[in-house]
Amino acid sequence: MIPSPWMILGSIAVAISAYFYGHHAGYAQKMTEDALEIARLNGLMSQAKNEQDAKDAETKQTFETKLSGILASRPRLFVPVSPSAGCSPATANNGQARAELDRQTAEDLIRIVADGDRAIIDLNSCVDRYNQVRDIANGQR
């Protein structure tokens, strides 16, 4: 007995449908697993960010406290100079002529150095955050 062509087509349609349903179910399972992994990694990264923020705040507070202490102590800065005729600059212990900078210039120089230090602190923080994200992504945390 020869099967009807409609039975053959129906069987093929059922087989194709079963294949695509299975493929879709597997894809959905994979998407769920990926979503769970993304949520886990986001949690780890959020925790690492909070830890880094606390560390950065502490570092900046310590830096600002030290800067305030330096500026409050009324620092005196001296620069070496060449003695010229009619000028009597102060001499250091080694006999070299030197001149004292006025207070505002000294503070300006200290603030320039402090700005550079702040930039270095920010850059180090950026590098630390990058390393944390890289380690979390590589599963080393």
pLDDT tens track for 73-99: 888 888 888 877 555 656 556 667 888
Residue partners of 83: CB distance under 8 A and separation at least 6: 89, 97
- What is the CB neighbour count within 10 angstroms for residue 63? 14
Q: Is 19 inside a domain boundary?
A: no
Q: Is 12 inside a domain boundary?
A: no
Q: Is 120 inside a domain boundary?
A: yes
Running DSSP on this structure, what letter comes out for residue 86?
T
Q: What is the total count of domains within the chain? A: 1
- Look at residue 93 in the predicted model and tell me its pLDDT: 63
- For residue 105, the enclosing domain spans 36-82+90-141
Q: Is 77 inside a domain boundary?
A: yes
Q: Is 46 inside a domain boundary?
A: yes
Task: Provide the strand spans (E) within 31-128.
Answer: 78-80, 90-91, 97-100
Q: Is 48 inside a domain boundary?
A: yes
Q: Is 31 inside a domain boundary?
A: no
The overall longest dimension of the chain from CA atoms, in Å, is 129
Q: Is 135 inside a domain boundary?
A: yes
pLDDT digits (tens, 9 = 90+) for 97-111: 888 889 889 889 999
Please, how many CA atoms are within 13 Å of residue 113, restricted to the half-sphere of its CB? 11
